[in-house]
Amino acid sequence: MPLLQGLRDALRLPNPRVDSSRRRSLLAADHLASPPPNGGSTALIVVDAQRCWYSNAANGRARTAFPALPQRLKALLEGARQEGIPVVHLRASYESSPHVSTMRRLNPSLNINPIVPDDPEPWARELEGEDVIYKSTFD
């Protein structure tokens, strides 16, 4: 096996909480639904645009700190789609991780909502044909 392929295989982190028919590698470039336009290497990666992190976040801190996020991300998505730039959605899916229980114990006021991978913000929802990759660990 070539060295590069061996390294890629070693870095793949399947999410055990996701049905195997939906399981994806964290190395998204191998699985994009459509290649970048003109053979380019550009893609828009939307990370953690889930209701548990913004709309439903504890104490409204994210909404207060980033009030324009919904409008700006929506515009960014629209622009990328119009230009034919692939959009990849990367979502947290580690609710059952032992690290989450530790974080909740250490920061009970910040980590009160469950991490729901299939509950994206309505303004950041994937369109048909766009990849959704579930990460099973923190960034």
- The 10s digit of each residue's pLDDT in 26-41 is 344 444 455 555 466 7
Give how many domains the chain has, as a whole number: 1
| Residue 102 belongs to a domain | yes
| Residue 116 belongs to a domain | yes
| Residue 95 belongs to a domain | yes
Over residues 81-106, the pLDDT tens digits come to 998 999 999 988 877 777 777 777 88
Q: What letter would DSSP give residue 96?
A: T
Q: How far apart are CA 138 and CA 102, in angstroms?
A: 13
Over residues 67-82, the pLDDT tens digits come to 999 999 999 999 999 9
| Residue 18 belongs to a domain | no
Global pTM reads: 0.65
Q: What letter would DSSP give residue 88?
A: E
| Residue 88 belongs to a domain | yes
Domain range holding 77? 58-135
